[in-house]
Amino acid sequence: MEIGLNHYLVLSTILFSIGLVGVMRRKNLLMLFFATEILLNSVNISFAAISHFYGDLTGQMFAFFVIAIAASEVAVGLGLLIVWHKRHNAIDLDLMSTMKG
């Protein structure tokens, strides 16, 4: 059968949901970052698909920007993660709750 726009959108939605679930469930900081990457990339898929559908490049541009930003996010994120690991040599989320209330 013919793969249409909707399939891509559905796929990206599913991926996005997976990402959301991951974000909610993961206790490991690194895994959390992966989950967020999934979120962004799911969006990229649909952007690409839609831009193909409309036949203009804006969507792909957006996708590129998203990729770039995702990359930089990873950079910052990993930096923070390493510092945290140095200090506590653990990357478990549940340890990070000194501030509350």
Interface residues with another protein (CB under 8 A) are 9, 12, 16, 19-20, 23-27, 29, 32-33, 36, 39-40, 42-43, 46-47, 50-51, 54, 56, 58-59, 61-62, 65-66, 69, 72-73, 76-77, 79-81, 83-84, 87, 93-94, 96-101
Nearest distance from residue 11's CB to another protein, in Å?
13
Distance CA 28, CA 77 (A): 13
Nearer to another protein, 1 or 97 (CB): 97
Q: 3-state DSSP call for residue 1?
A: coil
The CB-of-48 to another protein minimum distance in angstroms stands at: 10
The residues with which 92 forms a beta bridge, in sequence order, are 28
- Can you tell me the distance from the alpha carbon of 45 to that of 24, in angstroms, rounded to the nearest whole number? 22
Residue 29 to residue 72: CA distance in whole angstroms: 17
**DSSP 8-state code for residue 97:** -
Least distance (Å) from another protein to the CB of residue 2? 19
Q: Which is nearer to another protein, 7 or 61 (CB)?
A: 61
